[in-house]
Structure 1
Amino acid sequence: MPLKKGTHFEISERKILLRIIDIIVAWSCLYVVSRFDFFNYFTFYQSYAINIVVLAFYIFSFGTVFEIYHLRNAESRFTTAKNLLLTTFFTVAFYLFTPILTPQLPENRLQILIFFVVIYISIFIWRIAYIGLIASPRFYKRALLIGDDFDADSIKKELQIFDPNYEVVGYFSQQPQNAEKCIEFDKNNLEKLLEDYKISEIVVTNSFRGVSTELQKLLLPLLQIGYPIKSYSHVYEELTNKVPVQHIGNDFYCYFPFSRNNQNKLYLLFLRSLDITVSTLGLLSASLLLPIVLIGNLVANRGPLFYSQKRIGKNGKAFKIIKLRSMIKNAEIYGAQWATKNDMRITKFGKFLRKTRLDEIPQFINILKGDMSLIGPRPERPEFVKELAKTIPFYEIRHVIKPGVTGWAQVNAKYASSDAETIEKLQYDLYYIKHRSAFIDFRIIVKTLSTVIFFRGQ
């Protein structure tokens, strides 16, 4: 008899739900307001269908840039209010100034204000409802941990950091460690407990190759009635978008089925075309900013404008990276050093260059030369690579593709100034190599734009 599992929404389902309902409530409220005589800027006649589609496109696009579809942000009223305000402002601004695809500018400015207020208020009210209903504990995904030896509280805390709606309810283990915040399940009454606590899935904490005969006998009947059973490594990767190198052992080959796109000639041709196009446009655009950068460098950065440094690229091949100088001269007179948060060697103008990522612009030259790509793991210095490869397993796997100006680790992790932070960035890099695709490339580009807009560079 199938078990009754708790109702929950997957991460992808919640993100799709947010996008769809955002558009539906905005359209619905605009439709209602358009029935009154005082507002006629946005109408729903068939001949204006393109206007309706363009509005949805702008809400999707700017909502992604300003992170209103980031689930942790979506569960905070203050963050939602702030980011939605930016999303609505840019949506309305772009909508007004693309008159070929949208209605002509209204003569009465009150129409613009009504348009703005209706979009903002309608979506914000729905988002408050989302926080109170969908993001509430009644729709949490509840999991049971099963394994021979694990720290239940640590796993519970780690997974909830990345998805607050994922709740580790209980555990079953003969050798439990630190399980004060979880309920111990009795194997003799397991099916009833799973139903009583509305468990959605079972997570096996040790690798499938290491599952004991006793655990196998416990899990097999549940699998046969269609109960979801996953390895902890799989759940970790699914929730965090990182490859859990700390949980990978001699069966490492099970965790690295590299994306087929790494060998897909059409995808690689598309990526190279994107590299050349963006780099060319980037360098042309940067030439307009060059006078400002020159003045800033002359006043607050005194010294050479550019600097080059040896880095490790694809297949371990060294190349010279070009950047705008953001540190004092002779910053490494005593040898290679890790950059740190609030690094005293960074000049005032250098902080601005880093926050806005302007210091990365000369790397477009590296991209045109073929040493780098627009997207990929950040290239490190030979001294650091040699040191890190000795202490961090699988570190050099990141060299199987070209390094990038931006990347999955770059937009998700902090600046690495310690071994722990370097391991975290490696986890993101390996995830990108494993799941590389045009879709994840697009996500990285959007997240990079968000980083630049919010001055999150370091």
Structure 2
Amino acid sequence: MAMTSDPGAGVRPVGAGPAGAVRRGRRKRSQLTALLLASDAVCVLTVVLLLGRGEPTVVVVSTSTLAVHALAGLYRPRMDLSVLDDLPLLAGAGVAAVGVAAIAEGALGLGDVTPWALWAALVQTLLLVGARAVVYAVRIRYRVAGRVAMRTLVVGCGGLGAQLVELLRSGEHGLAPVGFVDDDPRLPAGVRPLPVLGGIADLERLVREHRVDIVVIAHSNVPEMVVVDVLRSCQGLAVEIFTVPRFWQVTNTHRLVQSVRGIPLVQLRRPAFRAVTWPLKRVLDVTASAAGLVLVLPVLVLCALLVRHEVAAGPLFRQERVGLDGRTFALLKLRTMPPDAASDVRWSGGDGAGPVGGWLRRLSLDELPQLWNVLRGEMSLVGPRPERPHFVERFTLDHDDYLWRHRVPVGVTGWAQVNGLRGDTSISERARFDNHYVENWSLWLDVKILVRTVGQVLTAAGR
């Protein structure tokens, strides 16, 4: 997703955001993951049929192993395929599955974990190791033969980039480099192993034109923030992004770090809207906002009557705000100041609030009507707070990261707000916290923010 802001022209999206990611095509399903799942399922089924002997604990041990493998990341696609690297996790998964069976024994009365069940678990682990070794051997052979290859762009045409290209050309890692991307290539044209297809600003177009699956960020002369902005613009595409860490020569490796013959590659986290759990965010929004509107209806009615008495105007206040992908919507609030004090271009109207309005703002009760915005899909319970178009344009010009907040739905509360950034506080800090939320979203983070918001409301820690 990319957006642009033009003074006088409003805020408009360029390209598409989270919704557009689906239209542009879903991420290719990993053949390796499917093969590993299939081989594990065959092993588990074999043990249940041949060694089950009607013992429920054998079935529990066998079937729970698949779930333990998934939680341990044993189905995660990788460049390096080594059953020896997986062996500790495979053995640990077998022990964990026996533990699950023991818990099921106590909770459900399925019977004792017998010596035969332990023997079946050992046989199953050996089968799983052997099957995985076969899958890896076949997969590597297909890679080297060029029958399995992910089209790859290397950002940075220098010594490290050229080294990566030469290493990837062996095929054993399953990546097929197609070209470099660089504004200022350090390698002369005559010694480049692949052509330079364009500059960093062309990355999104090149990914589409060359049907690229993988982007590897090596070191280049392009300023870091320029690269960050371009990578964010590619987040709606079905492409995985890896980066060579700085000081990679002394970087420790582990299972979460890929490796190309000694060169570590760190996979950037997939955008929130491409996470498997992302649709659950909308489920949480709908159920919680609907329930919330029912529960707080008496409070809303009381607040509306108090507002009507104080400002002698309609209690509901509508104001244009900028939401997901730069789209505008009418945000609902309880009126906390007289109608003639409201402004779309004045930063703070807090001085005009009367006693009731000030009380509503301190307790954040003026935000309750936004539950209707959430139910309508214009907002989420948790996300970056929406701002007026005038200030979005202004802050976008003053703060490089500001507009990237709009990659996810705006929220009634957010990560910046529960960290004390409310009212007249640093816009740069807000943008940093909001983008941190976007890059690190999880359902648990949403729950944590909601819990902290309730705590702040109860302690009157509002504006």
**Pairwise TM-score range, normalised by the shorter structure:** 0.3 to 0.5
Bigger Rg, structure 1 or 2: 2
Under a length normalisation based on structure 2, what TM-score does the superposition of the two structures give? 0.42
In the superposition, the TM-score normalised over structure 1's length comes to: 0.42
